[in-house]
RNA sequence: GCGGAAGUGGUGAAAUGGCAAACACACUAGCCUUAGGAGCUAGCGCCGAAAGGCUUAGGGGUUCAAGUCCCCUCUUCCGCACCA
């Protein structure tokens, strides 16, 4: 054991030292031009909202991405690893109200604070391409895209029922409503209001968004399934029922037109136009419908919308089934949704669970129209919802299979003009208007004479005015800024008013990753050739909470930009990784629970390397991670061991820098073998599995083994050349996970240049291979013994040594070995009777 | 209700169908003393004095061999939830 006074591992000294050096070399994380000849690799983590503080979820997210980026740099790729700020949004306005600080000021101060945290953590971002979405040089392109979409009919205005959050005092997209509540205010019930809103026609891409999910093989199946469900494609038929003694018609949407002869009523959503019309004439009906709506509202407040009891009101009117001419009663029902399909259904209680439940309750006739395909079989019990059967009680269609019948019925409907095959999506157009201040102004002018007039491109950006008064009531804050509102119409030069709504902030994050590739461009959102070089993103890393919102909008935006001719790729992201949450005491960290762990505190106590490495070590990246401070302390102790062992033998290693390790023996061979095995394991993991927790464990094993040989190292039993390879490689393997320590030790070992520019170590399979291995010997599947055989021994050799083994002999004595199964290199199993 | 993921020591966890519990945390015992959130050595699934036996939520199955594959049940978490 070396007895001279040793240096102590002190991250509080090492880390700021390297942070300062890296800050002085801003180009070190910059991507190279396309002409570099290296293969490109775009690694991206989701950009944070500048709340003012990084949290542990961020530390984990960016530790994963940074490890990957560093590894890819060392593998010789041209890496792009950018960072930016999702800087628009409501919290800035709330803060403004609370602290009397302008949103811009508050946001920029938060960005500065979080950028310091990123730098203190040693994250390798190229700050030269930093994107801040609240800056005019960014959001002008939101406006530019909006105008392009307006020209193509992809941005349009309509009056509609919208989701209104009373706490946000603004409209929410469908995607932002969770169980009837606001995604930011769990306790706030969303109200329905009628407002004129801007929409983006994402439904124009519904089919493609769905189809292309199949191509996204690098995405978690879970996310693809969630998106598929969200898009909710449904093939069916629309059928028009005429109403007895009225001019209106009722269109119903059904996926089971084959059951239409079993329709015994027609059900309308309470908000259906015909219900409104009939209510206007019938005070009794009006009252009951109002009650129904009130019930729904209450259920929504109680959070059990979806499970409330089915409830209906007979209107006393009848609809005519166009196939059978049968008269069926028209009801208003609380389980029919106005915003799906046509807001009206035919009710087939014999073959639909919900209709069955409803019919039972109100004694509506239940009729079998699908029977068993096998004439000898007993008829299945109702409700029978399977499509595996044949039509009965269906006139001329009797005997047809369900699918066949559907096609035939559709043909008839089409021919007679009362219906057709249709495809319905659950996905709705994206409402982007927000009655808030801190967002991208929608570049539209309303002129009394010319109507809606787009702001001409050369007048972009429409700047968000500063020094305005933020209030929480009464519509958009911008509507009170007369300098902003009152303009001249670009067409007629007459007086006109600006649109005062701003855009949903998900617009900002839908294309920010393209801007990174050309962040300073002031004549286009980005250069197409440059984007073509970098896209698609090779690896995107973020939380699964964005599986629907951000990731579906981004896919839409990419397709839209492709159709504008800006890019050639149809999907933005090749591989997606969704990391698990960071928990504390088994629960999500939150101020309410008082279980928030601050990254700053962790860094102050244990250092950035320890915090980062722990976040990778404590669990596989895709699983939830319970933050345990003792665990961070453990990783910190491990880093201390690495520091000590490397500094202790750095002089020996430096002495071996020029030499070559010839034919190593004994402990030197043993350590080299472990080294090359570890290198292979970690390299492999970066390529596929991403189990960084076991990578860190493997490095720990390696370091433990080196330390276990301390006496032999001190005695000089390992040649300097081997010491050199050993210690340098340990440092390089650690580098993606603990960049500060790696930099310090690399310098200590006399290494040339930045660690980031070193080639990633290569594992020599010959060196990594053991020359002798242990093979378990089982008798009837139970482990009995182990035998040592030369590596690569064939089955005969292994069998012979297994049978010769003492314990095996003892147990097989007097018995018959019926069978011997040898899996070379793996196991031997004797079947003994 | 539907869909998905998961269930392994006191804890976080590991294990291409082939030695269950690697690596760490906590704990126990000992050593060291520049008394540090330090370092070193050893032990640490359960039963048992030992030999040995048992053990991956529970039950069944496939297999020479199952934590791993199949079926059923239970539990937890996540997503969707009257989508016609």
For A392-423, the pLDDT digits (tens) are: 999 999 999 999 999 999 999 999 999 999 99
Residue closest to sugar C1' of B3 by CA: A225
CA of A827 to C1' of B18 (A): 5
Report pLDDT for A5: 53
Preceding omega of A3 cis (within 30 degrees of 0): no
Measuring from the CA of residue A344 to each C1' atom, give the nucleotide at the shortest distance: B84
Task: In whole angstroms, give the CA distance from residue A394 to residue A323.
Answer: 9
Q: How many other C-beta atoms are found inside a 10 Å radius of the C-beta of residue A359?
A: 24
Q: In a 10 Å sphere around its CB, with 0-12 CB exposed, 13-18 middle and 19+ buried, how is residue A347 labelled?
A: buried
Contact A431, A162 (CB under 8 A): yes
- Kindly give the residue spans of alpha helices, DSSP state H, lying in A262-399: 273-281, 283-302, 353-362
What confidence score (pLDDT) does residue A216 get?
A: 92
Residues 517-556 in A having a C-beta less than 7 A from any atom of strand B are 544, 548
Dihedral, A173, A178, A180, A186 alpha carbons, nearest 10: -110
- Please give the Cα distance from A737 to A635 (Å, whole number): 11
Report the 10 Å Cβ neighbour count for A403: 11
Alpha-carbon span A38 to A238, nearest angstrom: 56
Q: Residues 573-602 of chain A: which lie with beta carbon within 7 Å of strand B? A: none
Using CA atoms, how far apart are residues A637 and A615, in angstroms rounded to an integer? 15
- Which residues of chain A are under the pLDDT cut of 50? 1-4
Specify whether the CB–CB gap between A84 and A130 falls below 8 A. Answer: yes
DSSP state of A125: -
Subset of residues 385-424 in chain A with CB less than 7 angstroms from any atom in strand B? 424
The answer to whether some atom of strand B lies closer than 7 Å to the beta carbon of A160 is no
Q: Is the CB of A826 under 7 A from strand B?
A: yes
A680 touches strand B (CB under 7 A): no
Residues A90 and A798: their CA atoms lie apart, in Å, by: 70
pLDDT at A117: 96
List beta partners, residue A454: A444
A426: tokens are 């659950």
- Cα angle, residue A342 at apex, residues A338 and A345 outer, rounded to 5°: 90
C-alpha distances out from residue A509 to A133, A154, A211, A551, Å:
8, 18, 23, 9
Residue with tokens 């961020």: A58
Q: What's the rounded Cα separation, in Å, for the pair A286 and A307?
A: 24
Measuring from the CA of residue A4 to each C1' atom, give the nucleotide at the shortest distance: B34
d(CA A419, CA A409): 9
Q: Which of residues 166-225 of A touch strand B (CB under 7 A)?
A: 178-179, 221-222, 225
Task: List the domains of chain A with CATH numbers.
Answer: 140-201+429-503 (3.40.50.620), 234-424 (3.90.740.10), 628-768 (1.10.730.10), 772-832 (3.10.20.590)
CA of A626 to C1' of B10 (A): 16
Question: Can you give the three-state secondary structure of A308-340, one letter per residue?
Answer: CCCCEEEEEEEEECCCCCCEEEEEEECCCCCCC
> Protein A775 CA to nucleic acid B8 C1', in Å?
24
SS3 A711: helix
- Give the nucleotide nearest to A786 (CA→C1'): B19
A192-202 burial, b at 16+ Cβ within 10 Å, e below that, comes to eeebebbbbbb
For residue A499, give the nearest of A479, A524, A477, A517 by alpha carbon: A479
3-state secondary structure of A397: helix
Q: Give pLDDT, residue A305.
A: 62
The closest alpha carbon to A566, from A536, A524, A521, A522, belongs to: A524
Beta-strand relationship, A78-80 and A370-371: unpaired
Contact A163, A174 (CB under 8 A): yes
| Residue length of chain A | 833
Sign of the alpha-carbon dihedral angle for A387, A391, A392, A395: positive
A426 with A234: CB under 8 angstroms? Answer: yes
Residue A589, phi then psi, degrees to nearest 5: -70, 135
Q: Give the ranges where A607-719 is alpha helix by DSSP (H).
A: 608-617, 629-655, 666-687, 692-708, 710-714
pLDDT of residue A304: 62
User: In what helix (H) or strand (E) does residue A140 lie, and over which residues does it extend?
Assistant: helix A136-151
Task: Report the pLDDT value the prediction gives residue A592, as an integer from 0 to 100.
Answer: 75
Q: What is chain A's mean pLDDT, rounded?
A: 91
pLDDT in tens, A317-345: 999 999 999 999 999 999 998 889 999 99
- The distance (Å) linking the CA of A329 with the C1' of B81 is 28
Which residue, A409, A387, A408, A443, is CA-closest to A239?
Answer: A409
Within 7 Å: CB of A236 and strand B?
yes
Q: What is the CA radius of gyration of chain A?
A: 34
Query: Distance, angstroms, CA A689 to C1' B15?
Result: 14
pLDDT, position A300: 66
Q: Is the CB of A634 under 7 A from strand B?
A: yes
Three-state SS for A81?
Answer: coil
Contact by Cβ (8 Å): A263, A349: no
Of A487, A482, A489, nearest to A454 by C-alpha is A489
Q: How many other C-beta atoms lie within 10 A of the C-beta of residue A52? A: 16
> Any idea which nucleotide's C1' is nearest the CA of A614?
B24
The residues with which A239 forms a beta bridge, in sequence order, are A252, A419
CA A771 to C1' B65, in angstroms, rounded, equals 26
Q: How far is the CA of A165 from the C1' of B46 (A)?
A: 56
- Chain A residues 278-337 with Cβ under 7 Å of strand B are 299, 305-308, 310, 334-337
State the Cα–Cα distance between residues A193 and A820, nearest whole angstrom. 76
Residues 6+ positions from A335 with CB-CB distance below 8 Å: A267, A310, A311, A354, A358
Rounded Cα distance between A391 and A573, Å, is 47
pLDDT value at residue A2: 38
- Nearest nt to A338, CA vs C1'? B83
User: Nearest nt to A221, CA vs C1'?
Assistant: B4
In order of A51, A177, A229, A293, A343, the CA distances from A299 in angstroms are: 34, 16, 24, 10, 20
- DSSP track, A66-79: HHHHHHHHHTT-EE
What is the ipTM for the molecules in this complex? 0.94
Round to the nearest angstrom and report the end-to-end CA distance of chain A: 55
pLDDT in tens, A674-710: 999 999 999 999 998 899 999 999 999 999 999 999 9
The phi-psi region of residue A275 (left if phi > 0; otherwise alpha if psi is between -120 and 50; otherwise beta) is alpha
Bases along strand B below 7 A from a protein CB:
3-5, 11-16, 18-20, 22-26, 34, 37-41, 53-54, 64-66, 78-84
Q: Which residues pair with A575 in a beta bridge?
A: A218
Our measurement of the distance from residue A775's CA atom to the centroid of its chain's CA atoms, rounded to an integer in Å, reads 44
Q: Integer distance in angstroms from CA A154 to C1' B37? A: 60
């Amino acid at each position: 054991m070396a007895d001279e006074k040793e240096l102590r591992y002190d991250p509080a000294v090492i880390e700021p030292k390297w942070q300062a050096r890296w800050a002085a070399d801003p180009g070190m994380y910059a991507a190279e031009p396309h002409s570099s000849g290296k293969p490109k690799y775009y690694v991206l983590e989701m950009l944070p909202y500048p709340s003012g503080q990084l949290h542990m979820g961020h530390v984990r997210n960016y530790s994963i991405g940074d490890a990957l980026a560093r590894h890819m740099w060392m593998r010789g790729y041209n890496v792009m690893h950018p960072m930016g700020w999702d800087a628009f949004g409501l919290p800035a306005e709330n803060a403004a109200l609370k602290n009397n600080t302008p949103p811009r000021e508050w946001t920029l101060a938060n960005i500065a604070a979080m950028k310091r945290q990123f730098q203190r953590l040693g994250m390798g971002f190229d700050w030269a391409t930093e994107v801040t979405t609240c800056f005019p040089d960014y959001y002008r392109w939101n406006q530019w895209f909006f105008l392009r979409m307006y020209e193509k009919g992809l941005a349009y205005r309509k009056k509609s029922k919208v989701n209104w959050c009373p706490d946000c005092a603004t409209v929410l997209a469908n995607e932002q409503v969770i169980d009837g509540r606001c995604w930011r205010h769990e306790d706030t019930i969303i109200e329905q209001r009628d407002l004129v809103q801007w929409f983006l026609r994402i439904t124009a891409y519904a089919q493609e968004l769905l189809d292309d999910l199949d191509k996204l093989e690098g995405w978690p199946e879970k996310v693809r399934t969630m998106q598929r469900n969200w898009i909710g494609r449904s093939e069916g038929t629309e059928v028009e029922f005429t109403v007895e003694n009225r001019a209106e018609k009722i269109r119903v949407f059904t996926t089971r037109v084959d059951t239409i002869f079993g329709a015994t009523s027609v059900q309308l959503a309470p908000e259906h136009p015909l219900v409104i019309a009939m209510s206007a004439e019938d005070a009794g009906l009006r009252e009951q419908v109002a009650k129904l709506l009130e019930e729904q509202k209450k259920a929504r407040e109680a959070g059990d919308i979806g499970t409330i009891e089915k409830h209906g009101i007979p209107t006393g009117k009848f609809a005519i089934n166009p196939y059978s001419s049968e008269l069926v009663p028209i009801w208003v029902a609380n389980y029919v949704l106005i915003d799906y399909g046509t807001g009206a259904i035919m009710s087939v209680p014999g073959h639909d669970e919900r209709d069955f439940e409803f019919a039972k309750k109100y004694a509506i006739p239940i009729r079998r129209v699908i029977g068993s395909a096998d004439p000898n079989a007993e008829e299945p019990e109702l409700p029978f919802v399977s499509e595996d059967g044949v039509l009965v009680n269906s006139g001329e269609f009797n005997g047809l299979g369900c699918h066949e019948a559907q096609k035939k019925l559709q043909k008839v409907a089409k021919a007679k003009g009362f219906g057709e095959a249709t495809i319905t999506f659950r996905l709705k157009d994206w409402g982007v208007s927000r009655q808030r201040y801190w967002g991208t102004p929608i570049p539209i002018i309303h002129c009394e004479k010319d109507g809606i007039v787009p702001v001409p491109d050369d007048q972009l950006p429409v700047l968000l005015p500063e020094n305005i008064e933020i209030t929480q009531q009464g519509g958009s804050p911008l509507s009170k800024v007369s300098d902003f509102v009152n303009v001249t119409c670009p067409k007629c030069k007459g007086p006109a008013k600006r649109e005062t709504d701003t855009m949903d902030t998900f617009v900002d994050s839908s294309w920010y990753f393209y801007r990174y590739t050309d962040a300073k461009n002031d004549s286009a959102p980005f250069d197409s050739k440059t984007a073509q070089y970098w896209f698609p993103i090779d690896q995107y890393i973020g939380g699964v909470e964005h599986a629907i919102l951000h990731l579906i909008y981004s896919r839409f935006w990419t397709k839209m930009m492709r159709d504008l001719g800006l890019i050639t790729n149809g999907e933005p992201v090749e591989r997606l990784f969704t990391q698990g949450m960071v928990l504390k005491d088994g629960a999500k960290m939150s101020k309410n629970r008082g279980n928030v762990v601050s990254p700053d505190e962790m860094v102050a106590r244990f250092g950035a390397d320890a915090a980062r490495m722990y976040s990778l070590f404590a669990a596989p990246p895709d699983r939830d991670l319970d933050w345990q401070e003792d665990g961070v302390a453990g990783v910190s102790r491990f880093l201390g061991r690495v520091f000590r062992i490397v500094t202790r033998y750095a002089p020996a290693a430096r002495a071996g820098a020029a030499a070559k390790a010839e034919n190593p023996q004994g402990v030197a061979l043993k350590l080299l073998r472990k080294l090359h095995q570890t290198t292979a394991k970690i390299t492999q993991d970066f390529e596929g599995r991403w189990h960084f927790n076991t990578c860190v464990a493997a490095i720990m094993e390696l370091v433990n083994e080196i330390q276990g040989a301390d006496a032999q190292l001190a005695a000089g039993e390992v040649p300097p050349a081997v010491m050199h390879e050993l210690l340098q490689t340990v440092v390089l393997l650690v580098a993606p996970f603990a960049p500060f320590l790696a930099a310090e030790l690399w310098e200590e070992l006399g290494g040339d240049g930045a660690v980031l520019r070193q080639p990633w170590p290569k594992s020599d399979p010959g060196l990594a291979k053991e020359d002798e291995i242990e093979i378990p010997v089982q008798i009837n599947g139970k482990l009995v013994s182990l035998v040592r055989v030369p590596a690569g021994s064939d089955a005969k050799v292994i069998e012979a040594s297994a049978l010769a083994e003492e314990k095996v002999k003892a147990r097989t004595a007097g018995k018959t070995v019926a069978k011997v199964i040898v899996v070379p290199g793996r196991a031997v199993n004797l079947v003994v009777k």
